[in-house]
Amino acid sequence: MTTTFSTTITGRSLIAGRAVEGSAGTAYAIDPATNEKIEPVVTLIDGVQLAEATAAAAAAFDTYRATTPAERAAFLERIADNIDALGAELTERAVRETGLPAARIDGERARTVGQMRLFADVVRQGDHVQARIDPALPDRAPLPRLDIRQRHIALGPVAVFGASNFPLAFSTGGGDTASALAAGCPVIVKAHNAHPGTAELVGHAITRAVEESGLPAGVFSLVFGAGTSIGQALVADPHIKAVGFTGSRSGGTAIMATAAARPEPIPVYAEMSSINPVFVFPGAISDDVDALASGLVGSLTMGAGQFCTNPGLVFVPAGGQGDRFVAAASDALRETQGSTMLTRGIAEACAAGVAKLRGESDVDVVAEGRPGPTKNAPGAVLFTTTTDTFRDNAGLQEEVFGAAGVFIRYTGEDELLAAAEALEGQLTATIHATSADTADIAPLLPVLERRVGRILFNSWPTGVEVGHAMVHGGPYPATSDSRSTSVGSLAILRFQRPVSYQNIPDELLPAPLQDANPWKLNRRVNGTVVNAETGR
């Protein structure tokens, strides 16, 4: 059981356990419902202060990566406990800074601490080490084999960029931070300037866990600074060995360019842009058109459309059946009211994206929701067009970060397949159908496998389960690396690399590879998985 504690928000960066007043200007959090400043003033660090954080992370790396599974798992659990212990103070601050409702913030906090505890379990279980042993074969002919063993080790200090749309689950203590710490990597978080107070509260919770666990202070730092200067300097710093980013395509590609141009290029795991197509087949419309329409509108407008998995394209059959669905969804959308978006800048960008869609030829508005009562709360919008227009107009694949969607009307399965082939990489694709549509769905699935990271059937893409089988990733531009995921236990592998040990004496081998197997890990010996408990 945890006890609550209060942390005063100072507006200062937390560098290796110290609150540091920045010397490169100031900023404020802004209440998006009123556009009013929220105290206190936030001080922004300069390059010299950033270098203190990266140097401290590098100095902490070898000690931290040498922690045992039990030690590292306990540290992650302390972080979870401390975030929970922030109580109502964290919820209230996050609501003010984001305009999100308290229930959403509380749910996101549960997901955040759940991620930490999931990775604690992953570390204890130990499969992420991927220990492999090929014992020596001195009598093998024509050539003997030396003893060769392999494990995965942490890459080094990781830069994590807080996301605008998830102030907890994808920010200071979010999935990138949790998976990097679980891998054995110190973390430096570049806080999102839209919710600095929320970031600082969580930063204090992690800093306290570092101290409580007896770890080097450089294991964690939280910095405030301009993304175009401090963010880029962080990626370029030679102490940083990998980057986790959730944000815009322009921001992600800029970070990728900086990382690739370094004398030592480093991996960037960026989640950037997705419009999450939905494919509606005739059987789904015949089943319960009103429920289907309600589900679409709920997913489209959830969180003011500020989820990376909101459905932005909906492929619907042409003709009377499809007309019924479009009409039902339009009726449902007209009953909705906009909610406050995360920032004025995001609301303005959404308005610009909607205006661009309005100006496209052969793209028509079919329904609009009502604006909300606060500032920065536009109403939702639905458009419609044809597959020919979609294939000919690349602009229809540009993400509008907000509650805006486009119906793409298709005639026949060949036309639908051609449109699917034209899609850019996406996080998700959703199919709504019944067993009557199976023959038409089968050719679509291989196309979607090449285009997306997660395929859903008769559900909606908003809402990402944190577990072992989840993939929250996809081909570019959904992410910068389609081989990875930013959600779920597989995310730990992003921040590790393999090392082989050939003919090393047992007493010099790392613990996961020693004959006695002191960490009690399952290991692959001569290609066969050997259970640590049974030895078989």
pLDDT digit string (tens) for 28-78? 999 999 999 999 999 999 999 999 999 999 999 999 999 999 999 999 999
Q: How confident is the model at residue 2 (pLDDT cuts 50, 70, 90)?
A: very low
Q: How confident is the model at residue 265 (pLDDT cuts 50, 70, 90)?
A: very high
What is residue 230's DSSP assignment?
I
Closest CA to 387 of 358, 420, 433: 420
- CB burial of 461-476 (b: ≥16 within 10 Å; e: otherwise) equals bbebebeeebbbbbbb
Q: Where is pLDDT greater, at 117 or 8?
A: 117
CA–CA separation, 34 and 404 (whole Å): 23
Q: Alpha carbon of 115 to those of 162, 213, 494: distances in Å?
A: 16, 19, 16
The full set of domains in the chain, from first to last, is: 42-126+154-272+485-493 (3.40.605.10), 278-457 (3.40.309.10), 503-530 (no CATH)
Contact at 8 Å (CB) between 277 and 313?
yes
Contact at 8 Å (CB) between 154 and 65?
yes
Determine the length of the chain: 536
Burial (0-12, 13-18, 19+ Cβ within 10 Å), 197? buried
How many helices (H) does the chain have, and how many strands (E)? 16, 21
Between helices 289-301 and 320-334, what is the axis angle to 10°? 50
Question: Which positions ≥6 away from 403 have C-beta within 8 Å?
Answer: 300, 301, 304, 305, 310, 336, 338, 369, 378, 379, 380, 381
pLDDT at residue 191, as a whole number: 98
Half-sphere exposure of 35 (CA within 13 A, CB side): 9
Q: How confident is the model at residue 536 (pLDDT cuts 50, 70, 90)?
A: confident
CA–CA separation, 115 and 174 (whole Å): 8
Percent of the chain residues topping a pLDDT of 90: 96
pLDDT at residue 6, as a whole number: 57
**Mean pLDDT value across residues 97-106:** 97
Q: What are phi and psi of 286, to 5 degrees?
A: -70, -25
- DSSP characters for 326-340? HHHHHHHHHT-B---
Asked if the model's pLDDT at residue 307 lies above 60, the reply is yes
Asked if the model's pLDDT at residue 189 lies above 80, the reply is yes
CA–CA separation, 421 and 441 (whole Å): 14
Asked if the model's pLDDT at residue 1 lies above 80, the reply is no
Per DSSP, the three-state class of 105 is helix
Type of residue numbered 268: V
Q: How confident is the model at residue 4 (pLDDT cuts 50, 70, 90)?
A: low
Point out the catalytic residue in the list 52, 77, 185, 308.
Answer: 308
Q: Could you tell me the two tokens for 183?
A: 């891998």
Between helices 69-85 and 87-98, what is the axis angle to 10°? 70
Question: Which positions ≥6 away from 1 have C-beta within 8 Å?
Answer: none
Point out the catalytic residue in the list 108, 271, 368, 399.
Answer: 271
**Mean pLDDT value across residues 243-250:** 96
Q: What are phi and psi of 424, to 5 degrees?
A: -75, 175
By mean pLDDT, which of 75-79, 226-230, 495-499 is the weakest? 226-230
Task: Say if residue 135 is preceded by a cis peptide, omega within 30 of 0.
Answer: no
CA–CA separation, 339 and 130 (whole Å): 46
**Mean pLDDT value across residues 114-127:** 97
How far is the first Cα of the chain from the last one, in angstroms, to the nearest whole number?
A: 39
Contact at 8 Å (CB) between 148 and 525?
no
What does the pLDDT look like over 517-532, one tens digit per residue?
999 999 999 999 999 9
Type of residue numbered 458: N
Asked about 271 being catalytic, the answer comes back as yes
Type of residue numbered 115: Q
Q: Where are the beta strands (DSSP E) in 155-195?
A: 158-161, 187-190
Q: How confident is the model at residue 3 (pLDDT cuts 50, 70, 90)?
A: very low
Asked if the model's pLDDT at residue 463 lies above 60, the reply is yes
Asked about 308 being catalytic, the answer comes back as yes
Asked if the model's pLDDT at residue 109 lies above 90, the reply is yes
| Strands 523-525 and 132-134, sheet pairing | parallel
What does the pLDDT look like over 476-494, one tens digit per residue?
999 999 999 999 999 999 9
What does the pLDDT look like over 309-335, one tens digit per residue?
999 999 999 999 999 999 999 999 999
Mean pLDDT of the chain: 96
Contact at 8 Å (CB) between 428 and 461?
yes
